[in-house]
Chains A and B, each alone.
Chain A
Amino acid sequence: MKILAIDTSCDETAAAITFDTKIVSNKIWSQAVLHASFGGVMPNLAQRQHQARIDWVIDCAIKNSELKIKNLDAIAVTVGPGLGIALGVGINKAKELAIKYNLPLIPINHVEGHLLSPFANAKELNAKFPMLGLVLSGGTTMLCLVKNIGDYEILAETSDDALGEALDKGARLLGLGYPGGAILEKIARLGNPNKYKLPIPLINDVVKNRFSYSGLKTAFVRLFSTIKDPNKQDVADLAASFQNVAFEHVLRVLEFQSKNQKFEIKNLLAGGGVINNIELRKRLRLLAKKHDMRVSFPYTKKLNGDNAGMIGVTAFLKIKNEKLKMKNFYDYDSVDRNPRLKL
């Protein structure tokens, strides 16, 4: 099934062409590309102006796929969660194209897209349900039980900040700019993760069924304020200590939940921008190994961050596994933004 997928849930304007679980093309707008194509620097505000770049991104995705839009089987679009005005741009464009080419329009949940992103390129499809699914990004920190495609039970969600947000804020505090999660990771490699003692969030929860990062963030602000004129090594040690505890929290919740399910869990799916972090992947692999699980990440880094490829793959998997009828996806008016859509 050939799908044009569109995602404008927050900062990124993204479009992709997918063929079943295969990603044929996956275009994400970036400042650098814009720079080249418009021959000048756009004002910063444009980073969240999807309207100006959506056509160009879709055209690129189609061109790169070497397919014609009239030969597609469906259009998939992210309807939430995300920023309302941003979602609206993608949804309106998707409707416009669906009407023009008389194609079914499939609404997709952005978080479900991240969750199922490890299924891109098909190899993982013979994995056994139920599995655990972990989504760690700038806006989402969530662990769920994947009973089947489309059948999820939330096991833990953040009650305040998301992990990606916490890492970005920690980085900004250390003077590493925004978004600084990736730089924080690099600098943390040079530091001693045990140099500073920070509280592991919710360590006293007996039943570990939630995440929280605001307390750690506050403790980090306080710790940082006690260090006078931090030098390079101090910053590296701070970065390493902060990241270490932030990940330790995820690992502890994950370990508790993996041991406390009614069924034996053999597979862990992991998606979202924070999955780019190599240290985190290493620790997830170690934990999975310890509990005789296999952890699956998206096959390419590009699928970790926000993108539309995962939306196309998710649309295909849902149609196939939930045995949905394509004729039910022509009620375009029913497709609407839902900024706080739940999984």
Chain B
Amino acid sequence: MNITISRKTNPMMKIVKENKNAVDIVVDFLSNGKLVFMATETVYIAAVDATNPRAVLKLISFKNRPFGKPFSIGVTHINMAEKYVVLNKTAKDLYKRFLPGPVTVVSTGKHTVASGVEAENGTLGIRIPDYQFCLEVIKKFGKPITTTSANASYQRRPYKLTDILDNISEKQKRLIDLMIDAGELAHNEPSTVIDTTLDDELVILRQGDIKLKDKNEVLSRSEENTQNIAKELWQKYEEYSGKRAIVFCLEGEMGVGKTIFVKGLARAMGIKEQITSPSYDLLLHYSLLTNHQSLVHIDTWRMIEPNSEFKQLVNDNLINQKSVIAIEWANRIRSEIRKRADDAIIVWVKIKYAKNLTDRLISWGNL
């Protein structure tokens, strides 16, 4: 694979093909607090020494996200994990069942990693990558590394190095010290993230290829979290973008956060404008100049005859133009949406209030 990199990248940045000899180079870079990109069985990750505070700050700066948003770490074995977290029975069972593999298990942290890696509530996500090169690096390094995906926040999933380089700023490029090129990876989902810190039940925070329930359902703990889940859902369907219309049909009670979800969706699509509620205007249209894509945000809440009004608003142009359409209170126009099932990707998203005040259960499917 050829990689084209603009001259403004870190002049010291090295790109090395993934092979046995590269392990020592990576370990050397990690030991010196450097930022290294390498492959796993899911996506390319941005690895730093998870116990080095300065390296973690560098990573935060690259990811372009606020301090306090946690990073998962990679280890080689359950015994290694126990140095950093308390494993309860639920967690141990998950390790046995799924690891190594695309599952991140969240447990109570022992505060032995650098500040900024654990979540604000002291939890820490750990996974054991099912990827030989990565495991060898961690084994030789002897310390955990961060396994966060190598893209900046709200950018496309990194399956090849150009996915990353084409979507970051010059400033971000200068932060990268080493890239291990493993070519284009299979387009697997990011890992499934499971929280085991609640005694009574397993909580899925991100749904990857491994499913623990018979439906797709994750828990959001904040508005920012809901936006992030919208982004992840977008990334599951992004490959259809420009080829088919994609319709996100939102259901859920008043105030549950449907517009918040669309804010996350817009952000993931690269829309910079403020997304506001379309309740009054019925339809708001946002265009992306870069790739001729557009987001059409519709709300049926105050429509009197929603089916026929929707038909007037969304003439088949929007479907033919392969727009992304987000519809709030979509349950009011189920029959109209069904009629378009052959021409568009239809994703039903249900948001429900949950136990804690800011918690929301978000489920989705192509029903």
Enumerate chain A interface residues (CB-CB to B < 8 A).
10, 43-45, 47-48, 81-85, 138-139, 157-162, 164-165, 168-169, 172-173, 178-179, 214, 217-222, 339-340
Contact = CB atoms under 8 A, between A and B. Distances in A.
Contacts of A84: 283, 285
A159 B312 contact: no
Contacts of B305: 43-45
Interface stretch (B138-146, B252-260, B334-342): B252-260
Interface size class of B (residues with CB under 8 A): 20 to 34
Contacts of A157: 274
Contacts of A164: 280
B304 A83 contact: no
Given A169-B279, A214-B260, 11 more contacts: A45-B304, A47-B304, A81-B281, A84-B283, A139-B281, A161-B276, A214-B257, A219-B255, A222-B255, A222-B357, A339-B283
A10 B285 CA distance: 15
B174 interface: no
A221 B282 contact: no
22 contacts: A10-B281, A10-B282, A43-B305, A44-B304, A45-B308, A47-B304, A48-B282, A83-B282, A84-B283, A138-B280, A157-B274, A159-B274, A161-B259, A161-B276, A165-B279, A173-B254, A214-B255, A218-B255, A218-B256, A339-B285, A340-B284, A340-B286
B283 A220 contact: no
Contact of A45 (B280, B309, B353): B309
Nearest to A178: B302
A162 B283 contact: no
B61 interface: no
Q: Is the interface of B mostly helix, strand, loop or mixed?
A: loop
B283 A83 contact: yes
Q: Which 10 A-B pairs have the closest CB atoms?
A: A218-B255, A139-B280, A44-B304, A221-B255, A138-B280, A161-B277, A217-B255, A45-B305, A165-B279, A165-B280
B15 interface: no
Nearest to A168: B302
Given A45-B308, A159-B274, A82 B281 contact: yes
B288 interface: no
Nearest to B313: A85
Contact of B254 (A138, A139, A162, A221): A221
Nearest to A81: B281
Contacts of A158: 276
A141 B276 CA distance: 11
A160 B256 contact: no
Nearest to B286: A340
A222 B253 CA distance: 11
Contact of B280 (A162, A173, A217): A162
Interface in B321-348: none
Nearest to A179: B302
Nearest to A169: B254
Given A82-B281, A83-B281, A220 B255 contact: yes
Interface centre among B254, B280, B313 (most CB of A within 10 A): B280
A275 B80 CA distance: 64
Nearest to B277: A161
A85 B277 CA distance: 18
B312 A85 contact: yes
Contacts of A168: 302
Nearest to A170: B254
B312 A214 contact: no
Nearest to A157: B274
Interface string B234-273: 0000000000000000000111110110000000000000
A217 B353 CA distance: 14
Interface in B274-319: 274, 276-277, 279-286, 301-302, 304-305, 308-309, 312-313
A162 B299 CA distance: 14
Nearest to A217: B255
Contacts of A85: 312-313
Contacts of B357: 222
B283 A165 contact: no
A82 B313 CA distance: 13
